Structure 1
Amino acid sequence: MDVGQYMMHYGLAWGNSGNISSRVDADSMLITGSGTYMGHLEDGDLVRVNISSGEYDAAGKRPSKEIPMHAAIYEARPDAGFIIHASPFWTTLAACSDLQIESKLFVESMYYAERIAYVDYYHPGSRELGEAVREKAKEANVIILKNHGIIVFDSSMKEARMGLETIEMTCRMAATMQMTGLTPTVLKPETQQDFLQHSGYKPSRLW
């Protein structure tokens, strides 16, 4: 998948951090293997996993430990087709600080980061993290994981990648405004809703 290479090239991933998955059908997904280098993904780096049971072929490559988090999103959101979990610099800065992120700043942030949720720290790969993400996935497509990173999901790889890029830019803008003393100018709620309903990007998400 070139999405991993793209993420590395544009600073959205580093080392072997992060993982991605794609829904195959109602109860199975492909997820990157444990310790996989995102910059050079091959077919053998993807492991097929049963969403409801977490089972996979033990004779093959071991999947990412973040199965509980990915599976929880696919179960909670039937519209989710692709998930990216990453730790890009500015978004992780927000996750490791009290920086507040406002998505209603510009056109792309309103659309791709329409709703942003936060999950407290739980150990990576834990069922506790998976369950916390499950609850937040019902209300947002961008979830900042405190002291960890971010998880973004959407209907396709392209849309999820755009969501990740957009939230990284939004976090960079928020940090820069705070450091320079600028005051964010947020669009009025009626303007936000008018855009989301009539932007023509694609049908508004059903929350």
Structure 2
Amino acid sequence: MDTSNKIVNQLSHVGSYMMDHQLVWGNAGNISAKVSDDAFLITASGTSIGELSEDDFVNCFTDGRNNLTDKKPSKEVPMHAAVYEERPEIQAVLHASPFFSTLVACSDLEIPSDLFVESMYYLEKVDRVGYHHPGSNRLGQAVREKAAEANILLLENHGVLVYDTSIKEARMALETLEYTCRMMLTAMGASVNMKHLSGEAVTDFLDNSGYKPRRRWGKP
């Protein structure tokens, strides 16, 4: 099995996983993964993320060259291309609108990263992108301006954009984001006082726990 087919299988699997775990709904959202330094596979326009086949992906180039196929790629190509260009180490981008995360994206709430192990790691850097119409070049440019400083972007009044060094890690980040937002909003509704870890504890965990190597942020 060549690299492209392996990536199609992995993306199809994560698409089904996202649907089964209520991380995406209907044909909302789009997912992609890198196939070379300057190209990536992305879901085609109008596809259902939970029911993807080999024919539901389009090869696109980060510099905007024609993808040489009659199939139309997701209109969110500008966002995905911006991330891959700004962050060469990124291998997968997931765009979705899970309920709790999208609720937060439609509010002015801040997401805590100091609650538990996965939140400390995956939510270390979360940023917001102001509203721009889906699929627009303005949205792509707004994502480009934030991509180097975060691995999770809340797209205001739209959804979320998550990207990481593998499809598996991107999925884990998306799950952690939705779980944390659900926890936060449930606690708020039940008047539960959440206990947050200290900044010193979080820094020590990221630097010294050995959970995962600490990320390097920003351009070199």
Q: Of 132, 141, 164, which aligns to 2:151?
A: 141
Are the equivalent residues in 2 in contact too, given 1:116–1:142 (CA < 8 A)? yes
Q: Of 3, 8, 11, which aligns to 2:22?
A: 11
Give CA deviations for 1:23-79 in whole Å, capped at 9, x if unaligned. Answer: 1111100000001111111111110001112521242x1100000000000011111
Q: Secondary structure at the match of 2:119?
A: helix
Residues 179-194 of structure 1 aligned to structure 2 (within 5 Å): 179-194=189-204
Number of matched residues? 206
Give the aligned CA root-mean-square deviation in angstroms.
Answer: 1.1
Residues 122-141 of structure 1 aligned to structure 2 (within 5 Å): 122-141=132-151
1:194 Cα shift? 1.2
Give CA deviations for 1:89-125 in whole Å, capped at 9, x if unaligned. Answer: 1001111122221111111111112111001110001
Following the alignment from structure 1 to structure 2, what is the Cα–Cα distance between the partners of residues 132 and 191? 33
Following the alignment from structure 1 to structure 2, what is the Cα–Cα distance between the partners of residues 162 and 79? 17
Q: Of 160, 167, 185, which aligns to 1:150?
A: 160
Moved more, 47-56 or 8-17: 47-56
Are the equivalent residues in 1 in contact too, given 2:58–2:69 (CA < 8 A)? no
Following the alignment from structure 2 to structure 1, what is the Cα–Cα distance between the partners of residues 205 and 166? 22
Are the equivalent residues in 1 in contact too, given 2:30–2:42 (CA < 8 A)? yes
Report the equivalent of 1:102. Answer: 112
Report the equivalent of 1:57. Answer: 68
**TM-score (normalizing by structure 2):** 0.90
Where do 5+ consecutive residues of structure 1 fail to align?
none
- For residue 90 of structure 2, what is the amino acid of its counterpart? A
Q: Of 184, 188, 192, which aligns to 1:178?
A: 188
Q: Secondary structure at the match of 2:162?
A: strand
Give CA deviations for 1:177-204 in whole Å, capped at 9, x if unaligned. Answer: 2212223322111211111122323321
Report the equivalent of 2:211. Answer: 201
**TM-score (normalizing by structure 1):** 0.96
Report the equivalent of 2:37. Answer: 26
Q: Of 54, 57, 79, which aligns to 1:43?
A: 54
Q: Secondary structure at the match of 2:50?
A: helix
Following the alignment from structure 1 to structure 2, what is the Cα–Cα distance between the partners of residues 128 and 27? 21
Q: Of 63, 67, 71, which aligns to 2:77?
A: 67
Following the alignment from structure 1 to structure 2, what is the Cα–Cα distance between the partners of residues 180 and 153? 32
- For residue 152 of structure 1, what is the amino acid of its counterpart? V
Runs of 4+ deviating beyond 6 Å: none
| Residues 1:117 and 2:122 are matched in the alignment | no
Where do 5+ consecutive residues of structure 2 fail to align?
1-11
